[in-house]
């Protein structure tokens, strides 16, 4: 049992409360991020930053996340994943609110760094908690949890877009969003799963797995070095999906303003279209994965990214006005649908790799993904600076091609759920 959690949480064998608690955490985490995205152009203008400088400043968020990823395993050894997720979600909400008060670029970058630390720890802890709830429930839930994240992000971005269109101050809007998200995290605390009553020699929760001794005896092991390489490969695979997420979060508002000449009230629609499509894809994702397998669903998702982004890119040369805006938003939505199950699937795969300590696979995957977030903003900023904003969608095209090409062998190797094989079965035979 992990030390220092102080007990509490839902009783072993119950899942309804922990499912609700996990959903609250995912929703709050998505909402606090979504709330700030439509206001990034306002912050960029207020700080008088060019595209390249803005990209460098935004890179401080994933830089902080890299630090947070290194701290997460130690925190989860001392406290249960649910308790860590709640505490760090509250801290992330406070940091995000303070971003809106940034007077100079140095403070802006520093607060993004701090937000990145807290957000990364929240991310790993709430996903670890969600996977533990999924195992106890006995069927795939992770895509639906990520769907709730997308719902929170859409609602947060919608609120930010309305505030931007109305000319509301960034400070007041972000402060209000932070209060709501922190309150949701507090509400999740009583219903979270407590620390596992029984663990195997790697610290994995045995309470969530039926008949654990037999399953462990029949399990397989992957040597540590190969297991780590597999998790890193899964992280790079997830980074291809992150290219779409990062563009939506960091650049879509600027892209719509410059390429489609959308006004401030419409600039947040790029992020909303991606997250809204992700929401639909994730709510149906568990059903599709259980029926067709994670690899096949991911391959089709990669094709969706290529078609959607490619259409938006071509339209930027051929169309203008409201028609261009409509086509671009539709293309972004198809890309968002395409990546819906990629990151949840990679997380389940990383957590399913045998031979790793509890949370280690997720922490390594998260670290690699955050490294991708560190590289992506300045990379796209350089593309915007030297080739123009129209070309900033090309990294997403490359990512979609990679997803379609490697999804099959990589996800099959990691032990992600196959056709007619629920996620909890995968973990039982892989631990």
pLDDT, tens digit, 9 for 90 and up, residues 390-423: 999 999 999 999 999 999 888 776 656 554 444 3
Q: What is the pLDDT of residue 96?
A: 95
Q: How many angstroms separate the CA atoms of 111 and 251, rounded?
A: 19
Is residue 205 predicted with pLDDT exceeding 70?
Answer: no
The lowest-confidence range among 6-10, 335-339, 341-345, 402-406 is: 6-10
Mean pLDDT of the chain: 84
Q: What is the average pLDDT across 277-292? A: 88
Residue-wise pLDDT tens digits, 154-182: 899 899 989 988 889 999 999 999 999 99
The lowest-confidence range among 108-117, 260-269, 293-302, 328-337 is: 260-269
Judge contact between 248 and 339, C-beta under 8 A.
Answer: no
DSSP secondary structure, 44-83, as one string: HHHTT--HHHHHHHHTHHHHHHHHHHHHHHHHHHHS-HHH
Q: What is the pLDDT of residue 70?
A: 83
Q: What is the pLDDT of residue 431?
A: 27
Q: What is the pLDDT of residue 415?
A: 58
> Of 104, 127, 113, 115, which Cα lies nearest the Cα of 35?
115
The residues with which 352 forms a beta bridge, in sequence order, are none
Q: What is the pLDDT of residue 255?
A: 94
Q: Tell me which residue has tokens 């899964």.
A: 234
Q: What is the pLDDT of residue 197?
A: 53
Q: What is the pLDDT of residue 418?
A: 52
Measured between its terminal Cα atoms, the distance across the chain in Å is: 18
In whole angstroms, how far apart are CA 141 and each of 80, 134, 283, 332? 20, 5, 9, 25
Q: Which residues contact 16 (CB under 8 A, 6 or more apart)?
A: none
Judge contact between 352 and 415, C-beta under 8 A.
Answer: yes
Q: How many angstroms separate the CA atoms of 342 and 390, rounded?
A: 26
Q: What is the pLDDT of residue 372?
A: 86
Sign of CA dihedral 331, 332, 333, 334: positive
Q: What is the average pLDDT across 189-213? A: 58
Q: What is the pLDDT of residue 425?
A: 37
Residue-wise pLDDT tens digits, 84-143: 999 999 999 999 999 999 999 999 999 999 999 999 999 999 998 998 898 888 878 888
Is residue 382 predicted with pLDDT exceeding 60?
Answer: yes
H helices present in 293-320, as ranges:
294-318
Q: Which residue has the higher pLDDT, 377 or 85?
A: 85
Three-class secondary structure of residue 267 per DSSP: coil
Angle at 71 between CA 70 and CA 74, to 5 degrees: 115
Place 5 in a pLDDT band, splitting at 50, 70 and 90. Answer: low
Q: How many angstroms separate the CA atoms of 276 and 158, rounded?
A: 11
The three-state (H, E, C) secondary structure of 97-162, written as one string: HHHCCCCCHHHHHHHHHHHHHHHHHHHHHHHHHHHHHHHHHCCCCHHHHHHHHHHHHHHHHHHHHH
Domains of the chain (ranges; CATH) run 16-195+209-430 (1.20.1250.20)
Three-class secondary structure of residue 405 per DSSP: helix
Q: How many angstroms separate the CA atoms of 229 and 414, rounded?
A: 11
Q: How many angstroms separate the CA atoms of 41 and 151, rounded?
A: 22
Judge contact between 363 and 301, C-beta under 8 A.
Answer: no
Q: Which residue has the higher pLDDT, 263 or 217?
A: 263
Is residue 19 predicted with pLDDT exceeding 50?
Answer: yes
Q: Whole-model pTM above 0.85?
A: no
Is residue 310 predicted with pLDDT exceeding 60?
Answer: yes
Answer left, alpha or beta for residue 331, where phi above 0 means left and psi between -120 and 50 means alpha: alpha
Judge contact between 185 and 93, C-beta under 8 A.
Answer: yes
Judge contact between 207 and 94, C-beta under 8 A.
Answer: no
């Amino acid at each position: 049992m992990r030390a220092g959690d102080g007990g509490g949480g839902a009783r072993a064998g119950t899942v309804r409360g922990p499912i609700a608690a996990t959903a609250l955490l995912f929703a709050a985490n998505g909402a606090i991020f979504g709330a700030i995205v439509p206001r990034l152009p306002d912050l960029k203008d207020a700080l008088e930053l060019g595209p390249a400088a803005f990209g460098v400043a935004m890179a401080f968020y994933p830089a902080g996340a890299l630090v947070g990823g290194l701290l997460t395993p130690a925190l989860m050894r001392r406290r249960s994943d649910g308790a860590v997720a709640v505490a760090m979600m509250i801290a992330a909400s406070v940091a995000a609110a303070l971003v809106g008060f940034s007077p100079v670029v140095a403070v802006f970058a520093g607060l993004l760094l701090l937000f990145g630390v807290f957000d990364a720890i929240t991310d790993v802890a709430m996903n670890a908690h969600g996977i533990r709830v999924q195992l106890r429930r006995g069927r795939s839930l992770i895509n639906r949890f990520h769907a709730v994240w997308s719902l929170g992000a859409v609602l947060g971005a919608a609120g930010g877009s309305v505030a931007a269109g109305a000319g509301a101050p960034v400070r007041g809007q972000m402060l209000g969003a932070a209060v709501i998200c922190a309150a949701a995290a507090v509400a999740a605390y009583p219903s979270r799963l407590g620390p596992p009553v029984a663990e195997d020699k790697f610290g994995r929760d045995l309470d969530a797995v039926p008949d654990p001794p037999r399953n462990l005896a029949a399990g397989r092991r992957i040597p540590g070095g190969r297991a780590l390489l597999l998790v890193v490969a899964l992280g790079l695979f997830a980074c291809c999906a992150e290219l779409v997420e990062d563009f939506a979060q960091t650049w879509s508002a600027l892209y719509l303003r410059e390429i489609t000449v959308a006004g401030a009230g419409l600039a947040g629609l790029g992020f909303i279209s991606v997250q809204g499509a992700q929401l639909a894809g994730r709510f149906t994702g568990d059903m599709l994965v259980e029926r067709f397998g994670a690899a096949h669903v991911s391959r089709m998702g990669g094709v969706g990214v290529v078609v959607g982004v490619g259409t938006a890119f071509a339209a930027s040369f051929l169309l203008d006005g409201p028609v261009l805006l409509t086509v671009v938003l539709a293309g972004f939505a198809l890309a968002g649908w395409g990546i819906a199950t990629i990151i949840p699937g990679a997380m389940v795969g990383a957590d399913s790799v045998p031979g790793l300590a509890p949370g280690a696979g997720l922490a390594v995957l998260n670290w690699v993904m955050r490294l991708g977030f560190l590289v992506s903003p300045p990379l796209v900023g350089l593309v915007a600076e030297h080739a123009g904003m129209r070309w900033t969608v090309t990294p997403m095209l490359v990512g979609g091609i990679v997803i379609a090409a490697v999804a099959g062998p990589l996800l099959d190797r990691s032990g992600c759920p196959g056709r007619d094989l629920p996620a909890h079965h995968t973990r039982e035979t892989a631990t």
